[in-house]
Structure 1
């Protein structure tokens, strides 16, 4: 069997910190999985690469759970302008003025911020936070005649108890 040449490992202590785990996983996953797919056992891979049996089996188990080699997809692309802290800040702006428009919220958010955001970003963030726009229902106003009749009814039945009101059929 032909032995492949692999890069020298830079980390030797298995699982000392969480960031160490991430570095091992990112940098050495392809080497570990490649050695295992080449037919080497976990012990042979550990001896060849100079890592402990525990580290090799941990990385291989993580890869097997996902059934694919780790993707760096979450690390690519532009970073969000509104992070978790910004969402909390925007969340405080909305209840302060429930009738504020997106333009007003964006203006308030951008005051004192180093990175300004657009109205589209504000809309997207508010939608992600669970806020949505709504329009109040338009209700017909009562006529003077009906207003007078309602007042007469209320004054006539002012002394009714709860038991009396339970017998009324509401439409």
Structure 2
């Protein structure tokens, strides 16, 4: 069985609501179409931490370049499509120092 993306906040709420309404984990899994493991993990997290939202979107390395820097980098790349990565980096950094 392949991996699926994270559950949305609404889906997580449905899992908690189904179990709170009196359905078992098996009945909830059958009704909602998620695996038993997913149902039990979401409900366990809700019982322990009281949250249903996934914090997955806030994990990982923070972006080093802001939106303005990305637009600037896009213009540099468009100006010289054959430039190497090193040349683009040099031009970008040189512009930041001025």
Higher helix share: 2
Give the structure-1-normalised TM-score: 0.30
Give the structure-2-normalised TM-score: 0.48
Higher relative contact order (CA 8 A, sep 6+): 2
Computing the radius of gyration from Cα coordinates, the structure with the larger value is 1
